[in-house]
Amino acid sequence: MKKYLALVLALCMVFALCACGQKAAPEASKDATAASVEPAAELIKVGIINNDPNESGYRTANDKDMKATFTKESGYEASFAYSLKNDEQIAAAQKFIQDEVDYLLISAAGTSGWDSVLKDAQAAGIRVILFDRTIDADESLYEASIVSDMALEGKTAVDWLASQNLETYNVIHIQGVMGSSAQIGRTGALDEMVAANDKWKLVTQQTAEWNAETAQQIVQAVIDSGKEFNVIYAENDDMAKGAVAALDKANISHGVGKDVIVIGFDCNKWALEELLAGNWNYDGQCNPFQAAYIDTIIKDLEKGTAPAKKVVIMQEKGFDASTITQEDVDKYGI
Amino acid sequence: MASFKSASQESAAKRIGSFLAKLVKHQIFIPIAALLILVIFNLIADPSFFAISLDQNSLGNPVFSGYLITILDNASELVILAIGMTLVTAASGGQDISVGSAIAISGSVMLRVLCGTNSRPEVLQAPIIVAFLVCCVVAMLFGAFNGTLVAIFKIQPMVATLILFTAGRSVAAWINKNELPIISDASFGYYGNFIPGIPIPTPIFIAVACMILIALVLKFTNLGLYTQSVGINANSSRLNGIDPALIKFITFVILGLCVAVAGFIKVSRFSTINYSVIAKDIEMDAILAVALGGNALNGGKFNMGASILGAYVIQFLTTTLYKFNVVSSALPAYKAVVVIILVVLSAPIVRDKITETWKKLAPVKIAKEAS
Amino acid sequence: MQDGAILEMRGISKYFPGVRALHDVDFTLHEGEIHALMGENGAGKSTLIKVLTGVYSKDAGQICIKGSSGSVSIRSPEDAQKIGISTVYQEITLCPNLTVAENMYIGRTKGSLTHWKKINTEAGKLLDSLGIPASPTMQLSSCSIAVQQMVAIARAVDMECKVLILDEPTSSLDDQEVSKLFRLMLDLKAKGVGIIFVTHFLDQVYEVCDRITVLRDGKLVGEYVIGDLPKVQLVSKMLGKELDDLSGIQKNADEIYVGRTEVPVFEAIQLKSSANIKPFDFAIYRGEVNGFTGLLGSGRSECVRAIFGADKTTGGTIRIDGKKARISKPLDAMKHGISYLPEDRKRDGIVGDLSVRENIILALQVMKGFFRPFSRAQAEAFADEYIKLLDIKTASSDTPIKSLSGGNQQKVILARWLLSNPVYLILDEPTRGIDIGTKVEIQKLVLKLAAEGKSITFISSEIDEMYRTCSRLIVMRDRRVVGELRGEDLTQNKIMATIAGGD
């Protein structure tokens, strides 16, 4: 009897898994078949290859933005494919080429291995636009690449911090996953400043791998050791949140006009709300809204004008707690 | 007289020698030794390492603080998982690598129940206890799923749990429609932080409760005997009336329960969840805790206390590394070196050698001291 | 070295914590002889073999071998192989998931490239010449245990050894296979190979061996030429006392009567199981000892497994005390008071890493229930009682069962089932691979239990044991019950004839 019960449970589970597994993938094929049934000549067909929207809040916002922009109403016939794996993405690209899309929009999971499929696309007259991530391929293979400049994000934040004119800067630096582009960019700016300036010191520099709890442990270790610090520079919002939890536990004040300055990145909505409440001091944007840029480039290409620059760097803001407004939170929070 | 004295000394030396040898042979020796080494190392480097002070947190509540409290607090989830992992390892001779993902799922379920459809609820949509029970049921169902694959379909545990390991975090995100809910109700945070007025972190209480619970279960049921028996020899166990498949299945369900409790603490710590990083790699630490406890990873005999100590050793090591501000990129390497040393030390071959040398050395040393 | 000696061991000692496994033992093996190494379990035979093959390091003594000057040091089985000592162990030590040929040549191929086709042909030739019914490309696990054993011998033989050690090679072979093996041993003997033959079968010793060395309690009793040592003498030397003659075991003929009319304790009607046996009828009465007999693979074990629910039953009816019962798993059988001591002790009997105590209480504990564990003191009391009762030789009840000798392991399993106080006890090969003293004890115990009113099914591959203990024998051939012998029919000749199928 128990055996059967177990079997039934297992089957339920398998169905549940299938159900959610299907969620992302068939969407693409559904749209693709719909497109082949009623070929709408006036619509521009785009194949969008993205990372899994579940990967992070950033990606979720990015995907939402894409879906909101490339609609029938605005003249697009969009198909989506998601994967965190490079080879699956390449396979999806090949499928889109067979489906004869007009544009391929790619946010690549890995940087290498794309040459041949992009050449195929070029041969088929399909134009390629990269977004969010660059790849190791000849520039002639794509029309444009829309990316964030992580180093610039870091520099903006560090410059803002410098403008606070503290007597000394004793910084707890919490890094993201080592080797990721966001970590390299955001760490680089701070390292430069610390190396060049005697007033700046790193109390600790540790990776919390984007994890709030690990960040909390790192800050807790500093607090337990009794070292002085007055800045927390966390390379994403989650880690800043973890750091703040440790501060709260030790009754160390933080935020606007308080003992410790808190800096985060990515502009999650809840993080901007913290800013608005004055609990944090600064949040650097990592703009997930590339769709508008892509839309402009495609419209231009359709008119026959190529983009002025191959690499388009998006505008990214940094928000200061003392100047942020509710509108900013609603508009830029992801 | 003199000869009598030396004889008694010699026998005392022998006794001490054999006592030490026995100690070294005992399974729990390695985690205890590791813990002692870490303690001594920290004490030498910083005598104030074990200082505990009573402070106030930002809400004005009294809290104990200090490294020791931090370690005990942060090890809680790992300790709870190590309990379940020990049982799964003993019965099935394999490990569940999906616990991290399962924590993401159970945490997600919990928040979903508490938040309803609104990701920023002003008031909780359900009592916390209800949410916790739902999350227990779901986690146990996923445990049952793994258990079914292992016990009935006889799939290798690592392979069977690979499914949930891969899919779990996506499932977790899907449960909350990719939203990242945040609970604003302060009482939800009590379970991962402090209950106002009680200066000891709540996770420590939860971990201790789990330890007491498993100790009672092992004392007042035959879970220990059955799991070990099944892990050592499933054929014999079956012929003695035990159902090996059922026992394996049960251990996975128990691990599911452990996952639910650990997940509850995890989401309560921040009152929110990040599907992609919550409890990341915790399965590896849980397996390591079992291994550090000197338990055979291919099943059979286990020592629950040793596994739990192993979990504390791992957290102790992590906190120590943070304290000494090891360069981020070198952190995994340090951890790996320590782990290699511990695992090699716990190998029977090495332990036998230590036992031998100890036996030989002890009498000589004491004889020297006497002269 | 002595003239003609191929191997000399002098003053060998080996100690384990708390146990003196070997003390000052001498052993000499001559060229071209078959030398029996005899002793009860725990006498030190296995330890001596393991010292010789480098599995254990000796604590004292010398080993000399022909062709090497002075004493040689053997630190590992590889060392032993290099100087020409090959071993075939009682338990198969081959890899079940490799093919026969791979098993024969594994670890002996030169270089990294291996010509499997050639090796398969060679293996095939060797198997043929030894008359082993196996193809080189068969997976070893698909062969019967007997064939696996012979493959192991083939492997050892092919290594061109000077000294071949056969540790209980015949315990899982039937008569035909045994005689084949003996032919092979005599061949090798003629080629000058020295063979050390470890066995419990006295008849086999007298059939092929030239000399006998007897060990007892880790010490040398003596070395004898076979003609000088009558069987009874040998047994008394092994036991260290004048033989309590085997004829002392005698069932009380009065108790056995044919065609009992009372309700049987257990009755199976047209029972069949997933283990591919023909449906069979069977019944056993209170206080009766009966047995299943037949050649290896005749289905005798499968029958009792079906009774106990160890294999899935696929048909038939079971009545216990005349009431219909359902036995679909071992626990059902246990609850009806049936106990089963399995044939393969290592695979199905012991739980190796658990203590003697836990092994003893296991079955009773399971019957008592998951939520009602015995207290430590209670378990201790049970264990001590049975350790004393069955004279189990163990350092303490906390010792893992796997570190006990085979005979003592068997006694622990027996203790487990006696503790559960069964109505009906099934003993499948309880005497296999254990020493004569224990064998006799077990047979006596069986008769004593029967006298107390328990029903017992006793299976043994040694027919004399069977007809000494059983009042009724069910004879099997080709997975079918072919006859039932009782009373006056129960003679060795009659049993043989029924097994063989001639009337």
3-state secondary structure of C172: coil
**Averaged pLDDT, C59-83:** 84
pLDDT of residue C249: 46
Task: Return the residue matching tokens 């192993």.
Answer: B310
C-contacting residues of B 274-313, CB under 8 Å? Answer: 300-301
Mean pLDDT highest for which of A21-30, B48-57, C477-486? B48-57
**Averaged pLDDT, C196-214:** 87
Architecture of domain C259-337+461-503: 3-Layer(aba) Sandwich (3.40)
- Residue B233 C-alpha, separation from nearest chain C C-alpha, in angstroms: 6
What six digits make up the tokens of A113?
């291995």
Touching check for B6 and chain C: CB below 8 Å? no
Provide the CATH topology of domain C5-242: Rossmann fold (3.40.50)
Instruction: Give span(s): CATH 3.40.50.300, chain C.
Output: 5-242, 259-337+461-503
Start-to-end Cα distance in chain A: 49
- Mean pLDDT score of chain C, rounded to an integer? 83
The reported pTM is 0.78
pLDDT of residue C113: 62
pLDDT of residue A19: 46
Is-contact B180 B272, C-beta < 8 A? yes
pLDDT of residue C26: 93
Is-contact B90 B251, C-beta < 8 A? yes
Cα A232 from Cα A222, distance rounded (Å): 11
Cα B103 from Cα B268, distance rounded (Å): 12
Minimum mean pLDDT range among A275-284, B37-46, C478-487: C478-487
Cα C47 from Cα C28, distance rounded (Å): 16
Cα C427 from Cα C503, distance rounded (Å): 29
If phi over 0 gives left and psi between -120 and 50 gives alpha, with beta otherwise, what is residue C370? alpha
Chains B and A touch (3+ CB pairs under 8 A): yes
> Contacts of residue B46 in chain A, CB cutoff 8 Å?
225
Confidence of residue A190 (pLDDT cuts 50, 70, 90): very high
Residue of chain B whose Cα is closest to the Cα of A9: B145
Task: Return the residue matching tokens 């690979």.
Answer: B162
Going from the N-terminus, what domains does chain B have, and what CATH number goes with each? 63-329 (1.10.3470)
Of A124 and A11, the one with more pLDDT: A124
Residue of chain C whose Cα is closest to the Cα of B231: C351
**Averaged pLDDT, C428-434:** 82
Q: Are strands C424-428 and C455-459 parallel, antiparallel or unpaired?
A: parallel
Burial B212-221 (b: 16+ CB within 10 A, else e): eebeebbeee
Start-to-end Cα distance in chain C: 56
DSSP 8-state code for residue A315: P
Confidence of residue C381 (pLDDT cuts 50, 70, 90): very high
pLDDT of residue B106: 95
Bridge partners for C428 per DSSP? C459
Give residue-wise pLDDT tens across range A168-184: 999 999 999 888 888 99
Give residue-wise pLDDT tens across range C269-289: 999 888 778 899 999 988 889
Of B145, B182, B327, the CB nearest to A10: B145
DSSP 8-state code for residue A314: P
Q: Are strands C163-167 and C85-88 parallel, antiparallel or unpaired?
A: parallel
Question: Is residue A275 classed exposed, middle or buried when 0-12, 13-18 and 19+ CB atoms within 10 A define those classes?
Answer: buried
Beta strands in B34-106 (DSSP E): 53-56, 62-65
Give which of A234, A226, A99 is closest to A154, Cα–Cα: A234
Touching subunits of A (3+ CB pairs, under 8 Å) are: B
10-residue averages of pLDDT along chain B (371 residues): 52 70 75 89 87 87 90 96 96 94 95 86 89 96 96 94 92 86 89 91 96 95 95 93 95 97 95 88 92 88 94 92 83 82 76 75 56 50
- Residue A34 C-alpha, separation from nearest chain B C-alpha, in angstroms: 25
Torsion sign over Cα B344, B345, B351, B353: positive
Task: Return the residue matching tokens 């079906």.
Answer: C306
Q: Would the pLDDT of A71 be above 60?
A: yes
Cα maximum dimension of chain C: 75
Touching check for B335 and chain A: CB below 8 Å? no
Touching check for B303 and chain A: CB below 8 Å? no
Cα C212 from Cα C334, distance rounded (Å): 45
- In order, the DSSP letters of C215-264 are EETTEEEEEEEGGGS-HHHHHHHHHTS----GGG----GGG--SS--SPP
pLDDT of residue B10: 61
Bridge partners for A284 per DSSP? A265, A318
Cβ of B232 and C352 within 8 Å?
Answer: yes
A-contacting residues of B 68-87, CB under 8 Å? Answer: 70, 74
Q: What angle do CA B69, B219, B234 make, to 5 degrees?
A: 110
Cα A10 from Cα B249, distance rounded (Å): 12
What six digits make up the tokens of A326?
């509710």
Task: Return the residue matching tokens 């445990």.
Answer: B143
Cα A226 from Cα B66, distance rounded (Å): 10
Start-to-end Cα distance in chain B: 16
Going from the N-terminus, what domains does chain A have, and what CATH number goes with each? 20-147+289-303 (3.40.50.2300), 150-286+319-332 (3.40.50.2300)
pLDDT of residue A26: 40
Touching check for C382 and chain B: CB below 8 Å? no
Cα A13 from Cα B139, distance rounded (Å): 12
Question: Helices A212-225 and B244-270: crossing angle, nearest 10°?
Answer: 60
- Residue B85 C-alpha, separation from nearest chain C C-alpha, in angstroms: 20
**Averaged pLDDT, C187-194:** 84
Task: Return the residue matching tokens 């970590």.
Answer: A183
> Contacts of residue B348 in chain C, CB cutoff 8 Å?
none
Residue at C457: amino acid letter: T
Cα A306 from Cα C329, distance rounded (Å): 77
The neighbour count for residue B337, using CB atoms within 10 Å, is 10
Q: What angle do CA A289, A290, A293 make, to 5 degrees?
A: 125
Give residue-wise pLDDT tens across range C10-46: 999 988 876 778 999 999 999 889 999 988 766 888 8
- Residue B55 C-alpha, separation from nearest chain A C-alpha, in angstroms: 7
**Averaged pLDDT, C409-437:** 89
Sheet holding C5-16, edge to edge: C19-30, C5-16, C60-65
Q: Would the pLDDT of C252 be above 50?
A: no
3-state secondary structure of B188: helix
Of B133 and C102, the one with more pLDDT: B133
Helices (H), chain A: 2-37, 57-69, 86-98, 115-123, 150-162, 181-196, 212-225, 237-249, 269-276, 291-303, 326-332
Question: Is residue C459 classed exposed, middle or buried when 0-12, 13-18 and 19+ CB atoms within 10 A define those classes?
Answer: buried
3-state secondary structure of C23: strand
Q: Would the pLDDT of A300 be above 50?
A: yes
Of A210, A217, A245, the CB nearest to B322: A217
Give which of A79, A80, A68 is closest to A44, Cα–Cα: A79
Q: What angle do CA B62, B69, A253 make, to 5 degrees?
A: 50
Is-contact C53 C87, C-beta < 8 A? yes
3-state secondary structure of C198: strand
Task: Return the residue matching tokens 């047209």.
Answer: C270
Of C312 and B346, the one with more pLDDT: C312
Touching check for B61 and chain A: CB below 8 Å? no
pLDDT of residue C112: 57
Of A6, A56, A57, the CB nearest to B144: A6
Question: Is residue B58 classed exposed, middle or buried when 0-12, 13-18 and 19+ CB atoms within 10 A define those classes?
Answer: middle
Confidence of residue A284 (pLDDT cuts 50, 70, 90): very high
Is-contact B252 B102, C-beta < 8 A? no
Beta strands in C362-494 (DSSP E): 424-428, 455-459, 472-477, 480-486
Is-contact C99 C108, C-beta < 8 A? no
Rg (chain A; Cα; Å): 23
Substitution target from B219, B220, B239 for chain C, most C beta carbons within 10 A: B239
Question: Is residue B204 classed exposed, middle or buried when 0-12, 13-18 and 19+ CB atoms within 10 A define those classes?
Answer: middle
- Residue B103 C-alpha, separation from nearest chain A C-alpha, in angstroms: 14
Give which of C129, C132, C153 is closest to C143, Cα–Cα: C132
Sheet holding A261-265, edge to edge: A200-207, A169-175, A231-234, A261-265, A282-284, A318-320
Give residue-wise pLDDT tens across range B99-149: 999 999 999 999 999 988 877 888 888 999 999 999 999 999 999 999 999
Residue at B101: amino acid letter: S
Is-contact C180 C154, C-beta < 8 A? no
Q: Are strands C60-65 and C5-16 parallel, antiparallel or unpaired?
A: antiparallel
pLDDT of residue B340: 85
Residue of chain B whose Cα is closest to the Cα of A242: B270
pLDDT of residue C246: 44
CA neighbours closer than 13 Å in the CB half-sphere of residue C43 = 25
Cα A54 from Cα A64, distance rounded (Å): 12
3-state secondary structure of C360: helix
**Averaged pLDDT, C132-151:** 80
Which H, E and C letters describe B108-139, residue by residue?
HHHHHHHHCCCCCCCCCCCCHHHHHHHHHHHH
Cβ of B241 and C347 within 8 Å?
Answer: no
- In order, the DSSP letters of B328-342 are GGGHHHHHHHHHHHH
